[in-house]
Amino acid sequence: MPKNDPVDVLIIGAGASGAAVAWSLADTKMHILCLEQGGWMNPSAYPSTGRDWEARFYGDYSPSPNIRARAEDYPINDDNSPIKVVNFNGVGGSTIMYTAHWPRLSPSDFRVKSLDGVADDWPISYEMLEPFFAENDRMMGVSGLSGDPAFPPTEPPMPPLPLGKSGTLFGKAMNKLGWHWWPSDTTVATTDYEGRARCINLGHCTPGCAQGAKASTDITYWPHALRAGIELRTHCRVREILTNEHGMASGVVYYDQDGVEQFQPAEVVIIACNGIGTPRLLLNSTSGRFPNGLANSSGLVGKNLMFHPYAQVYGFVEEETDSNRAPPTCLWSKEFYDTDLSRGFVRGYAIQFGRGAGPVFEAVMSEAKGILPWGADHHRVFRKLNGHRLALSAICEDLPEEHNRVTLDPVLRDSHGIPAPRVDYTISENSRKMMEHGIARAKEILAAAGASDICLNSPIPYGGWHLLGTARMGTDPERSVVNEWGRSHDVKNLFIVDGSVFVTSGGVNPTSTIQAIALYVADQMKQRLANLFD
Amino acid sequence: MNSVDTNTVTGTGLTPGQRDDLRAIAAMMIPESAEYRVPGADDPMIQADILATLGRDATRVREALDHIGRLAGQPLAALDAQRREAVAREFRESGGVAAATLVRVVLQCYYRDDRVLRSLKLEPRAPFPLGHTLEQGDWSLLDPVKARPSMWRRAP
């Protein structure tokens, strides 16, 4: 097997967290290499550049790796889960394919045991992460409005996206009900920002922004990291992490872009492969010393998978909405975010408000729901629906449960023959009650907005965007995989910086928090360079 | 999307009979409308677009058309209207993923046709590079929310 020159730090994965940790560590001047199984994206080939922009969402730009099936993707057996995994593999990772909705976890999310007697407290706090949230907001380029009464003060560097028609309709409805709402923080540039052009409302933001207004780490962190000397090798898929006689990680075995097996030695290994890819890699890295997978003395690698079940409700109003002609991210509400046991469940959910859909999506979804008929009346009904959709989702906090897990599939393998991950997941009773509550409130909101033809997607089946908890952080090696600064309890030169380390999920999109943690871990490493392995 | 050459669509793997059934079921889904001045989904250019862009959906669409063939027992267009409606209903109810794929393929080609988009008062173009205009909306609506006291839960 070819052996490469050793590096000081090897990062696996060039997505949200891998890019952030690479950039932060660059000022150490160490020899840092990142291996990424995908390649660089070409924005001129993104769906919004072509007339088939909506159709490609069902094909080569599907959020599901199993449907998309690009050479860079690996299959995931999620048959035994009502929520299917969605992700993206390439430089930028799933920041290529996300809605750019940008909430942070709240201070109370880090203390759920103390506050509500469930799950566990995190070993870190919001206050510890706050400077890294702010740094990350500057690096990713965040638009938003200061002063949200439902969150500690923040200072987004760009003004918020316009409310538009949809936001105005929702705002009026929420005011009628007297409930909290606020324009979302987003990573969509509303002004020209550090080489990125401002948003021109392509609308089809999720599967890659051709304008470059939506932040993805290939256009935010990576250009800075590369200029600072980080090496990034693309189309390199890591099979396993090897260890030496001292129980330390010695490097990784990977397949290069020609499919040739390579060994890459490293002094430090950092995993940034998301809550599915990270446990998969650890479980594939078995040895005599680590027969149950690397860093798995607790037995918790792959366990406690949290998704955020989404309960989506939508309806149709007489007024025109923004439809597909604006970023999908619009508003959020924290009215039902915190625990109120009179609701019948513990913890809570945020509400995420959308703007609408394009004509193909509208036709496909409405036909499937049975509200768009076949035959002569099709045209009349379609004109009533298209451009009139108001949609919102309760994004529910998923509490950790060990039976929700990632294991290795005994049969399924990727194109390199590496065992693929299998997901076993059920929605808990607490989450179901939370979803029902969210649906009822969403119906009230839509009624206040004057909507009719109400439909549900609960859970959103292809809604497994948030992959959390499968290598959790903690101070107790028997109850966690990494310590309070991201280092494996078992392997002293192995770190994890992605969503796997989440102790609990909160009820909001996690990417902002994932990247803040990656920057925090990098900062901790820099402060401890002299005794990193003690 | 109105530039497909109807003479060059090959390699779909659909038999002539399946193409006839595809055209027939598409017309049942979305018939031509003089009122809205739009073609039906059986329009030659839309059918050509469907066949030219089947791609990864071809297998499931063939399965769906096989299913229609079994339910109809003869060319769909040859059935009387009542029987044709019954077959279509049964197809949509029992056709599973294959039927859903066929329906989606028809819809995604129909609703990118220039004539259809113009009828909907939408511009027949890709989103990039022109984009769209998003109005600011009424920011005064936020005033009562701004007036609320801080409501985030403090952590110990």
Domain ranges within chain B, ordered by starting residue:
16-124
Mutation target among B33, B54, B57, B128 for the A interface, most CBs of A within 10 A: B128
> Which residues from B are below 8 Å from A151, CB to CB?
152
> Which residues from B are below 8 Å from A387, CB to CB?
120
Gap from B31 CA to chain A (nearest CA, Å): 6
B103 touches chain A (CB under 8 A): yes
* The pair of three-digit structure tokens given for residue A210, joined into one six-digit string: 């051709």
pLDDT at B8: 40
Pairwise CB contact (< 8 Å): A200 & B131: yes
CA–CA–CA angle A527, A528, A529 (5° rounding): 100
Helices (H), A4-125: 16-25, 65-68, 112-116
Pairwise CB contact (< 8 Å): B152 & A201: no
A386 touches chain B (CB under 8 A): yes
Query: Sign of torsion, CA B35 B37 B38 B42?
Result: positive
Confidence label for B3 from pLDDT (cuts 50, 70 and 90)? low
Residue A13 to residue A37: CA distance in whole angstroms: 7
Strand partners, A406: A423
3-class secondary structure, A157: coil
A183 touches chain B (CB under 8 A): yes
* CA B27 from centroid of its chain's CA atoms: 12
Pairwise CB contact (< 8 Å): B126 & A171: no
> Which residues from A are below 8 Å from B152, CB to CB?
106-108, 149-152, 334
Residue A145 to residue B90: CA distance in whole angstroms: 52
Contact between B4 and B44 under an 8 Å Cβ cutoff? The reply is no
* The pair of three-digit structure tokens given for residue A73, joined into one six-digit string: 């993707």
> Which residues from B are below 8 Å from A164, CB to CB?
134-137
Q: Which of A320, A484, A505, A491 is nearest to A404 (CA)?
A: A505
Q: Which backbone phi and psi does A161 adopt, to 5 degrees?
A: -60, 150
Pairwise CB contact (< 8 Å): A59 & B122: no
* The pair of three-digit structure tokens given for residue A307, joined into one six-digit string: 């998704």
A58 touches chain B (CB under 8 A): yes
Residue A186 to residue A360: CA distance in whole angstroms: 25
> Which residues from B are below 8 Å from A397, CB to CB?
none
> Which residues from A are below 8 Å from B134, CB to CB?
161-162, 164, 201, 322, 325-326
Mutation target among A374, A377, A383, A503 for the B interface, most CBs of B within 10 A: A374
A433 vs A341, A346, A348, A458, CA distance in Å?
A: 11, 9, 10, 12
ipTM greater than cut 0.85: yes
* The pair of three-digit structure tokens given for residue A291, joined into one six-digit string: 């027969």
Gap from B78 CA to chain A (nearest CA, Å): 18
**Minimum-distance CB partner of A202 among B33, B55, B127:** B127
Mutation target among A51, A110, A124 for the B interface, most CBs of B within 10 A: A51
Confidence label for B12 from pLDDT (cuts 50, 70 and 90)? confident
Residues 6 or more apart in contact with residue A158 via CB below 8 angstroms? A141, A142, A143, A144, A189, A190, A191, A193
Pairwise CB contact (< 8 Å): A163 & B141: yes
Question: What's the pTM value of the predicted model, to 2 decimals?
Answer: 0.96
Is residue B70 exposed (0-12), middle (13-18) or buried (19+ Cβ within 10 Å)?
exposed
* The pair of three-digit structure tokens given for residue A50, joined into one six-digit string: 């072509």
CA–CA–CA angle A47, A48, A50 (5° rounding): 75
pLDDT in tens, chain A (534 residues): 778 999 999 999 999 999 999 999 999 999 999 999 999 999 999 999 999 999 999 999 999 999 999 999 999 999 999 999 999 999 999 999 999 999 999 999 999 999 999 999 999 999 999 999 999 999 999 999 999 999 999 999 999 999 999 999 999 999 999 999 999 999 999 999 999 999 999 999 999 999 999 999 999 999 999 999 999 999 999 999 999 999 999 999 999 999 999 999 999 999 999 999 999 999 999 999 999 999 999 999 999 999 999 999 999 999 999 999 999 989 999 999 999 999 999 999 999 999 999 999 999 999 999 999 999 999 999 999 999 999 999 999 999 999 999 999 999 999 999 999 999 999 999 999 999 999 999 999 999 999 999 999 999 999 999 999 999 999 999 999 999 999 999 999 999 999 999 999 999 999 999 999 999 999 999 999 999 999
A403 touches chain B (CB under 8 A): no
Pairwise CB contact (< 8 Å): A379 & B30: yes
**Minimum-distance CB partner of A360 among B112, B138, B145:** B112
Mutation target among A48, A341, A382 for the B interface, most CBs of B within 10 A: A382
pLDDT at A2: 78
A144 touches chain B (CB under 8 A): no
CB pairs under 8 A between A and B: 179
Gap from A99 CA to chain B (nearest CA, Å): 17
